Structure 1
Amino acid sequence: MNELLDGLWRASLWLALGVILLATVRPLLLRLGGAGVVYRSWWLLPLLLAALLLPLPQVALLQHVPTLPLKVVPEAVEGLPASSLQWPLLLLLVWALGAGVCLLRDLRAQRRFERGMGGLQARADGSWQASGDPGLPALVGLWRPRIVVGPDFDRQFSAQEQRLILQHERSHRRNGDHWANGALLLMRAMFWFHPLLPWAARRFLRDQELACDARTIAPQPALRGLYASTLLKAQLVHPVAPAVCHWRSQPVLKERIAMLKQSKRKALPWVSGQVLVVGLCLGMGAVAWASQSGPMAVGPTVAVMDREIRVDKMPPPSYPKSAFEQSQTGVVVLRVDVDAQGAVSDVRVVSATNPGVFEAVSIAAARSWTYRPALKNGKPVAGAVRIPITFAMDENDDVTETTR
């Protein structure tokens, strides 16, 4: 439970850093490579989240991990905490409720948009014509995306304008933008509490449209004027479906037309923009990956220590009130990583005989412990200790560890 909350907090922090960085470098990326490079730079955010999920290589820093057993009985603590596990559980429930509400809201908006299209009829150009117009033309659907146009599509646009619109929506489909919008929907639900994510989502969708415009008009630059007039001719509506690639969008209309007026970029700045995006994503991803707690070593080491880790302060954890009232006992085995200064750098549960009862209080207590670090060649070095914590009702109880 605590690990999940810690993971959400760490991911939220890195998302904030990523959004701020993208907002800072966006003007430079736009100058170097145009809208396409700016849109690809948004890969930074999912790469940061993926990097945080990749485990660091765990290498034993000691020839063997010493064991420091600890026994906890109700009399060993001064008071019994009334709600030691309530706050993490409450926070987790609030997060899950918010994620569910946000996801349900977006799915209902998507469903409402699809119902507003009414019946669909296949067209000869490969698109589908709807009987209603909730904000068409658009690329609709995730697993089987379809280009859907409104009932007045043929009367509203000329044949050449229709080709431009369909090319735009086909570019969305070839580039997988509908999948990107689906991933954005899930990210907005998971991080519904993040203060920067709403702005990032709006900016992402704008950059998506700008990049699609650039891809569509690049092979036929002579049609820039017609493309701009086609945008203006469409009725200006706000998109109302979260997983739809809309042709028309009022908030970004001026920006889209301004982008069409820009001259064609040279190859060197474009290449420079690509290199910058790749370096930005890989560099930040590597920093996020390396920032995870816990020791990391380049290769295996078998070290003979002058002195193993010794205890400085190791107060026992509190006996959970619910476990005491139900006469529950158990053994939690922790691996505690200790840095060269004697502070705890990471705590992991190796095993627990009564899962979900004693782990939280054990981890909370272990994070406050201090040690005298191990010595190698007279110098303090990082290491680890294995601590079996026995929760018993009295000093004579012998609780057997059954989980490995």
Structure 2
Amino acid sequence: MKGLDLQGENVLRFYTTNWKHYRVCSRVTDGVCKNLNRHWPRQEYYLERTDVDELLTMAMKIWQLVFFQPLNRQVTSACLQLIKAERQNKEINTRLISGIIKSYVELCFTENSCVSITSYQITSPTLAIYKEYFEIPFLQDTEQFYRLEAANFIREHNSVIEYLKKVAQRLDEEKHRVQSYLRSSTLEPLIKKVEEVLIRDQLEAIYTGEKALLPDEKYSDLALLFKLDPKLYVETILEIHTKFFQLVQEAFSNEQDFTAALDKTCGKFINNNAVTTATGNTTKSHELLARYCDALLRKGSKAVEETDLEEKFNQIMQACGFKYTSKLERMFQDIGVSKSLIDQYRTYCEKLRLDDIVDFSVMVLSSNSWSFSAPPNFVLPVELKTTFVSFTKFYTQQRNGRKLTWLHQYSKGDLQTLYTKPKCILYL
């Protein structure tokens, strides 16, 4: 096969040029056979034949077999070489990488659950090919590149300030890279990987440099450190509060006036410190606290037990004061109340023997704590009307005087088809 002996930009040009021509021809042929696509595959599908595809899907499978499988390693490797060169401040042809990415993404429509371009099965692309053949190797290559750079930079410069500026620059470059020619879905794992390698794995060296900033009063440099890592900022505040809280407990027997003075001082410190001064924003602490809590909650679904999460939240509330965490606390309370409310509603339906209720769950959230956009004009399907009326009546009885505003734009649901073989589940 042609192209197997090509490397670097040559293999990328060969692949993208052939892909463009093949893609156009496939779509033209698919359009000419529109009526055949509309009737024959569907007829065969109902006869439980799984080897029949529309012409465009079949064309993509042929491309995978003839071009993609023999060349994907060379192509991906060439893309990664160009990205590495760009990270080393060399000019590259980003259009070649962009063309490869678009090709990988479009091939996802012929993989597993994202196969169907047919009218009788509605699914969404899982980006399986893009993730497996580009994103995973790209993240591995990114980790290797920045791990080596971090070690060399710290050893050669011996300056945590210059290192932090370099980290901020690299994060901006990676964000721009995603915006320029990668998939937007890559941004989150990419930034997470860069922060892990350049910040979290270098915390010991950063902490050592951080201590040297305080005696020299280099507050703007200290602000840069915390801007990069909200976790470091919040946990430093907790550490300071714990230190002085223990002092009040042990030296002053937890006397009320000293406790109140500590709370007042912590409040002033959170509003006015090196970070807020450097950014010129007195609400910077709110932002960093919100980012820290968001990361904590995301992690909580997998790694952190509910009791640990509650303990961490209590520490934050104690250190930052009620003023900063009252809204967050009410949000937690709303989530807990919603869970018990659903259980009460199911008991209510059983007592009244309401059998035509759709299985659903609902979050009842206070408008004072949650910011949502105004509800759109929405016509509720007839099938959901009974459930809607039933729950509204139940809630009105439970919470006399309160009014529900339904935000249907945030809803999601599963719809199962019973008239097809095999049965399909549509995610709405």
The normalised TM-score by structure 1 is 0.21
Structure holding more helix per residue:
2
User: Which one has the bigger strand percentage?
Assistant: 1
Structure possessing the higher relative contact order (Cα contacts under 8 Å, 6 or more residues apart): 1
